[in-house]
Amino acid sequence: MNTDISVSTWQAELAVDSRCTLGEGPQWDAINQRLYWCDILGKRLHWLSPATGESGHYQLDHMVSLATPLEGGGLLLVGEDRLCRFDTHSGSVETFCDFETDNPITRSNDARVDCHGSLWLSTMGKKAEKGAGSLYRLHRGKLTRLRSGLTIPNAICFSADGCFAWLTDTVTGVVMRWALDSEGWPKGEPQPWADFSSTLGNPDGAVVDSEGCLWLALWGAGQVVRLNHNGEIIGRVELPVSQPSCSAFAGPDLKTLYITTAQEGFSAEQLAQEPTAGSLYVVELDIAGLAEPPLRLE
């Protein structure tokens, strides 16, 4: 990577002291002005209303890694072996479809809606078993497997024009870019785009801003880095905890970046050093995020 590029730096601050075991999947609900995020291992869906500062959570009966707004209202939960409609008012959960129910070692991991209103989601082994994970696309209600043999698939996000998807298998340290056709389906093979295999931290979740730059969480490094079109670091958000997992732009102008974190695998000593690990962090920016459409099921 080019080390001569000027790098902007921001400091993230504590937003919600949620202390998730594995905080993941931050998602902005623009219609209801609410941020949702998950504690995968704690089986909880957290929420925050930034305008009022109110926050809370729903206790679920299975692991969930994303709650994304649906066209027409409500949320779709990306769960360990199922996709469910969720009513935030009543708390009712209705299964939409199952996946990998015959494989008890896997659960859902990263997920994001593309510019066509279709959901990409990944699975991985509950103990990060090598090659146990897969990548899927839910397009107009039909779930299609795009790739298998992955270990910790992450960093799913998309260019504004819909021409590319980004993704990584965290254990490789390499972020890939994948060309898409006019309907949002992959074509050809994904190509290496940014290599973190020899740096501190492993690539985790990612989100795209309105300038087409990628904001990538570096698990283990306590940073979210901003990457330009060439995959070079041009910005850095520093956190006081070491395991950031993913980011989401939120707020009326999409200039507030929320970052989920984790305390998964921490010893008592590590937890004492990072007492707010697993909490939600925030940084105010002068850069807007890329608005994401609601999920279309039909």
**Where does the pLDDT of residue 1 fall: very low under 50, low under 70, confident under 90, or very high at 90 and above?**
very low
Please indicate, yes or no, if residue 40 is contained in any of the structural domains: yes
CA distances from 37 to 48, 68, 171, 180, 262 (A): 9, 10, 23, 28, 12
**Where does the pLDDT of residue 6 fall: very low under 50, low under 70, confident under 90, or very high at 90 and above?**
confident
DSSP state of 295: B
- Catalytic residue list contains 87: no
Please indicate, yes or no, if residue 292 is contained in any of the structural domains: no
pLDDT score of 94: 96
CA 200 to chain centre: 20
pLDDT score of 293: 95
Please indicate, yes or no, if residue 200 is contained in any of the structural domains: yes
Distance CA 118, CA 297 (A): 8
pLDDT at 185 over 70: yes
Which residue numbers belong to the known binding site for substrate?
107, 109
Number of domains into which the chain is organized: 1
Please indicate, yes or no, if residue 3 is contained in any of the structural domains: no
DSSP bridge partners of 44: 39, 59
**Where does the pLDDT of residue 297 fall: very low under 50, low under 70, confident under 90, or very high at 90 and above?**
very high
CATH code, domain carrying 232 = 2.120.10.30
Please indicate, yes or no, if residue 213 is contained in any of the structural domains: yes
Distance CA 201, CA 111 (A): 21
pLDDT at 273 over 70: yes
Asked if 297 contacts 84 with a C-beta cutoff of 8 angstroms, the reply is: no
Please indicate, yes or no, if residue 2 is contained in any of the structural domains: no
Asked if 53 contacts 34 with a C-beta cutoff of 8 angstroms, the reply is: no
pLDDT at 3 over 80: no
pLDDT score of 2: 45
Amino acid identity of 182? S
Model pLDDT for residues 285-295, shown as the tens digit of each residue:
999 999 999 99
Cβ neighbours of residue 97 under 8 Å, at least 6 residues apart?
Answer: 82, 83, 143
Which residue numbers belong to the known binding site?
24, 107, 109, 154, 204
Residue whose structure tokens are 């925030």:
282
pLDDT at 4 over 70: no
pLDDT at 5 over 90: no
- Domain hosting 205: range is 8-284
Per-residue burial over 56-80, b = 16 or more CB atoms within 10 Å of its CB, e = otherwise: ebbebeebbbbbbbbeeebbbbbbb
Which residue numbers belong to the known binding site for a divalent metal cation?
24, 154, 204
Mean per-residue pLDDT of the chain: 96
pLDDT at 239 over 70: yes
Please indicate, yes or no, if residue 236 is contained in any of the structural domains: yes
The one catalytic residue among 29, 114, 204, 209: 204
